[in-house]
Structure 1
C-alpha cells in the first residue's frame, strides 16, 4: 500500500511564512524584464502587446465603485543613442540601475540582440547578481516617500 509514496523523496521542510525582501524585489524586476522582452518581440513582429490591469472607477450615476479592466501602459526601456546605436537602461521603478561605476546603459547591435540581452539580464537578476543595485534603487525610491 505504501509502495507509491515510498518512491517519493520526503523532506521535513515547511513552507516559509515570508519571502526575504530581496527575493520579492528580484521577482518584481524579473517580471518587468519579462514585460520588456514581450514588448520587444511584439514590436519586431509588428503585433500589439497589451497587458490588462484592474482599476477602481466610481460609477457616475450610482456612485458605486467597480473594477474596470484597462490596458497597462508599458514604456520601452531601450532608446537610440546619439551614435545611432540601440541602448537599454534597466529600471527599478523610476530609478535607473547603475550596472557598473558610471555605466547605466547596455549597447546592443540589433533588435534580435535586444531580446537576447534582456533575457541575459533577467537570468542575472534571478541569480541575484544585481541585488546590491536593486537594494540601492529601493532605498532611493523609499526615501522619496518619507515625510
Structure 2
C-alpha cells in the first residue's frame, strides 16, 4: 500500500466543549465544585470525613518526574456566623465571588438551607445567569497575577 492509495479528508477533530468556550469551562468548573460541596454536605450530616484524590507530579534529584496520588481535604463553601446561622460563599478560583455584585455571603440558615442554596446556584450556573460574574472573577484573578519573566 502506498500513500497514493489513501483517502484524505478535510474533516477536523472536534474540539472538546471545555476547550472551545471559556464560558462553558467556567460553568463546568463551578458545577463540579458544587458537586464536591454536596458530597461534603452529606459527609457533614453523617459525621464522616471526606477527601479528594489528587494527582501530584514532583521532580526528584535526578530530574525524573514522579507522579503520586495524595488525599486532600476540600475547602467548604459554608461557615457559621456568631449567631449560628449558616452562610455560603461561592468560590471560583479559590476566591469568593459576589453573585449580586456587592456581597459574597449568602444566608442559608441551616444545613438544609445550604443544600437549597447550592441547588439554586447550580440551576443559575447551568442556565448561564452567572456567566458575567464568572467572567469578571476570572479577569480579576488574571489581572492580579504577576507577569512571568521572559
Shared fold per TM-score greater than 0.5: yes
TM-score (norm 2): 0.78
**Mapping of 1:1-147 within 5 angstroms?**
16-17=14-15, 18-59=19-60, 64-147=64-147
Name the count of aligned residue pairs. 133
The separation in 2 between residues aligned to 1:101 and 1:134, in whole angstroms, is 11
1:146/1:64 CA distance change after superposition, 3 Å: closer
Runs of 4+ more than 4 Å apart: none
1:15/1:64 CA distance change after superposition, 3 Å: closer
- Residue 68 of structure 2 aligns to a residue whose secondary structure is strand
The separation in 2 between residues aligned to 1:24 and 1:101, in whole angstroms, is 21
Q: Describe the superposition over 1:91-118 as per-residue Cα deviations: whole angstroms up to 9, x where unpaired.
A: 1113211121422211112112212221
Structure possessing the higher relative contact order (Cα contacts under 8 Å, 6 or more residues apart): 1
In structure 1, the gaps of 5 or more residues are 1-13
In structure 2, the gaps of 5 or more residues are 1-11
